[in-house]
Structure 1
Amino acid sequence: MESCESKIKAEISGPPEMSIGNQGLRKRILQKGNSWKTPIPGDEVEVHYTVRLKHGEYFDSSRDKGTPFRFKLGQCEVIKGWDEGIATMKKGERAIFTVPPELAYGEMGSPPMVPPNATLIFDIEMVSWSSIRDITGDGGILKKILKEGEGCATPKDADEVLVTYVATTEDGIVVSKCDEPVEFSLADGYLCPPISKSVKTMRKGETAELSVKSSYCSRYPKECHSSNDITPTDSKLTIHLELLSWKNVIDVMGNKKILKKIIKMGEGFDHPNEGSLVKVIYKGKLEDGTVLERKGSIEQPFEYVCLEEQINDGLDRAVVTMKKGEQATVTVSSEFLQEIQNKEWLHTASILYDIMLVNFTKEKPFWKMDTQEKLQACQRKKNEGNAFFKAGRFQLASKKYEKECNFS
């Protein structure tokens, strides 16, 4: 432990003090931190400290005990001066805090060490902290981050997540756990509500510990493995949860009738639009695995023009949301299956398409065309419209004639 004399010299010769709040709390930084982040209320922090009276010797030290002091910030577990002062610290930072009696032990003091109306001098070092978030806003589900995840993205309501978890009671009894990672859709409400709610706040690779009040434990995780048959109904639950990865699921129409699950992300930001010539490889199948159709191959992708009723309309609408090289599974509601002739298949709830968008070519915008190109485009759209009209496909014909007018 450093001598009292060296500490006092450091306090005197260090950087100038700064005020925190308006109740007399003062801070002088001795060693700057190594991050820009600071803890927030609810975080579990670990600090080393020594403390003395304003005109006295140091009388308590976590360094002497060899173990950092741990507490939850902003939860009234320590004096108010600590809650306010430590909230300004960065990891690795060391500072001297002058805490007036109003933010310490006040008129009563804390006998025998702290007399009434005592000003305290703390030498505090921020060792680390674990972020704790109140998922429900009422303390019902608290999430403590054990390992930070990657990036900044988190799963959305319809995404499919891959997790591992272990759920235990306050007595340490394992209620449920998975020996192998489990994948589920957040839209289906699989597993228990605390897991579904919490995983939407997590980043890829993040590991967290959930503290769940009994009122949120009415449903326990569906067990992949259980070491016992006990199913408590009024016990606080602790869930160790890791988010391994997730697949983005896009609701193409906003009514859950066309859902696109991204298996492999595509390139760039652009995607096809109406009239684009696309190259795809896809396979359509029923929920029982029965294959309905296959189109294209790596050697010879299937070519078609978007939104001209050349393929299943539901799949077509999903394709115009895809990027080059993207691979996806598209689930299409049965209302888009009118072209299927087998009446038994019409009773299926949906059809699944495994599809890859190999490439696409967009039509040149009319405002980029010169006069000759516009005339050629007008003639082409007119001819296409006439062909659709003769085939009785009047809606498509109307679209072509409308585009012809736009080019004029």
Structure 2
Amino acid sequence: MAVIKDHDLSDIEDEEDNLDEEPGEVIESAPPLMVGEEREINTSLGLKKKLLKQGHGFETPQFGDEVTVHYVSTQMDGSKLDSTRDKEKPYSFKLGDGQVMYGLDYGIVTMSKGEVALFTLPSGTVGANNVSPDSNIQFEVELLSWIAVVDICKDGGIIKKILSRGETNEQPGDLDEVTVKYQVMLDDGTVVAKTPEEGVEFYVKDGHFCPALPKVLKTMKRGEQVKLIIQPQYAFGEHGLTAENGFSTIPASSVLNMDLELVSFKPVIDVTGDTKVLKKILKEGEGSLVAEEGSTVASKYLVWILDHFFN
């Protein structure tokens, strides 16, 4: 991008702490922009937005997400500074990471997918690449797509990039049984673990592969597909893993890259509160009524103890 300021996400967070309003607050507290309408959306930055084309849906990206855009940047006299459309290649970057001109990030977080908007940044926020510091700059931006990026543990140890969102809002808990598919690679691309085509089943609390899995799975929805970057402290640490149980050797202090899909899960309920009686739901029932104590019920059951069973 033609005009870049050396600001990163920490700068933006510090800036937000000092602002009377959060980015996008004016947009959220006022009626949505109509096509052709222009409004100042961040008074502290003097950032203006003119809507050129409505987007799809109501979701918008957040700081830390990876967005892909087309843009054309110009000075107020119409002279062009840069254009991805001329290059016929969109630009992808992480919001708040200092990869675009400071202030533009605050505009993009107000956009929905497919939206086209014209942003005007006032003098004082620019001044690089032969652009006069007293010259306003305009960016025509089309938001093509974005990948939500989540720092699971808030320490950079497990980064989750959401490739495909799940089907519902339900997420598994520690006791639930999940079916997942995954492929795990080292930084050099070496595959060290991969599930069969049908996936594998295990209880979330058991972890199955590495300590990162339970933490990630409890943030996922059924059908969700993600890419993970797992630092050693949430993988196999300083000792690595010796080849065993179908897993390849993983060197000490390895960063793991995992493609993960939560295919499905079966809720498990702690009936007595002490894990002595657990109920795994294999098939959801109909309606919302449940039998009360003293009710007469008809049921079918199968009981097994160790290697013996009866019905």
Residue 119 of structure 2: SS of its match in structure 1? strand
Match of 1:276 in 2: 295
1:187 match: 205
Cα gap change, 1:53 to 1:72, in 2 (>3 Å): same
Determine the structure 2 residue equivalent to 1:125.
142
After TM superposition, give the deviation of residue 56 of structure 1 in Å.
Answer: 4.2
**CA deviation map 1:323-354 (0-9, x unaligned):** xxxxxxxxxxxxxxxxxxxxxxxxxxxxxxxx
Compute the displacement of 1:246 (Å). Answer: 0.4
- Hey, what does 1:91 align to over in structure 2? 113
Structure 1 position 285 matched with structure 2 position 304: yes
Q: 1:45 aligns with which of 43, 49, 67?
A: 67
Tell me the equivalent position of 1:262: 281
Pick from 245, 261, 276: which aligns with 2:264? 245
1:156 equivalenced with 2:173 (yes/no):
yes
Partner of 2:301, secondary structure, is: strand
- Deviation of 1:78 after TM superposition, in Å, equals 2.3
Instruction: Say if 1:233 and 1:77 are closer, same or farther in 2 by CA, change over 3 A.
Output: farther
Q: Which has the higher contact order (CA 8 A, sep 6+)?
A: 2
Kindly indicate whether residue 29 of structure 2 is the aligned counterpart of residue 26 of structure 1.
no
Which amino acid counterpart does residue 53 of structure 1 have in structure 2?
Q
- Quick check: 1:236 aligned with 2:250? no
Q: AA paired with 2:82?
A: D
- Assess if the C-alpha contact under 8 Å between 2:111 and 2:143 holds in 1: yes
Q: 1:200 aligns with which of 218, 228, 233?
A: 218
Contact 1:145–1:207 (CA under 8 A) maintained in structure 2: yes
Q: Over residues 346-383 of structure 1, what are the superposed CA-to-partner deviations in whole Å (9 max), with x where a residue is unaligned?
A: xxxxxxxxxxxxxxxxxxxxxxxxxxxxxxxxxxxxxx
Classify 1:205/1:53 alpha carbon distance in 2 versus 1 (closer, same or farther; 3 Å): same
Q: Do 2:124 and 2:133's aligned partners in 1 also have CA atoms closer than 8 Å?
A: no
Runs (5+) with no aligned partner, structure 2: 1-34
- What's the CA shift for 1:55? 2.5
Give the partner amino acid of 1:184. F
Secondary structure, aligned partner of 1:80: coil
Deviations 1:200-236 (A, max 9, x none): 111111110011122222268997755xx43122222
Q: CA deviation at 1:86?
A: 0.4
- 1: distance between equivalents of 2:245 and 2:263? 17
CA distance in 1, matches of 2:38, 2:164: 36
Q: How many residues align?
A: 273
Cα deviation 1:156-185 (Å, max 9, x = unaligned): 121000001011111111121112411000
**Structure 2 counterpart of 1:210, which letter?**
L
Q: Which has the larger radius of gyration?
A: 1
SS for the counterpart of 1:239 is: strand
Matched, 1:211 2:229: yes
**Percentage of pairs with the same residue:** 42
Name the counterpart of 2:89.
67
**Deviation of residue 58 (structure 1)?**
0.9
* CA distance in 2 between partners of 1:19 and 1:186 (Å): 43
Secondary structure (helix, strand or coil) at the match of 2:285 reads coil
Cα distance in structure 1, aligned partners of 2:201 and 2:303: 23
- Give the structure 2 partner of residue 178 of structure 1: 195
- CA 1:46/1:223 → structure 2, altered by over 3 Å: closer, same or farther? farther
Q: Is the 8 A contact 2:40 2:46 kept in 1?
A: no
Aligned-partner residue type, residue 137 of structure 1: K
Q: Does residue 1:35 correspond to 2:57, yes or no?
A: yes
- Match in the other structure for 1:110: 128
Q: Distance in 2 between matches of 1:110 and 1:21?
A: 23
Amino acid at match of 2:132: P
The structure-2 alpha-carbon separation of the partners of 1:110 and 1:138, relative to structure 1 and needing over 3 Å to count, comes to same
Paired letter, 1:236: V
Letter of the 2:193 partner, please give it: S
> How many Å apart are 1:111 and its aligned residue?
2.7
Q: Using the TM superposition, give the Cα deviation of residue 191 of structure 1 relative to its aligned residue in structure 2, in angstroms.
A: 1.9
Gaps of 5+ in 1: 1-12, 295-408
Structure 1 residues 21 and 192, CA, compared in 2 at 3 Å: closer, same or farther? farther
Whether the aligned pair in 2 keeps the contact of 1:179 and 1:225 (CA below 8 Å) is: no
Tell me the TM-score normalized by structure 2.
0.82
Asked whether the 8 Å contact 1:179–1:224 carries over to 2, the reply is: no
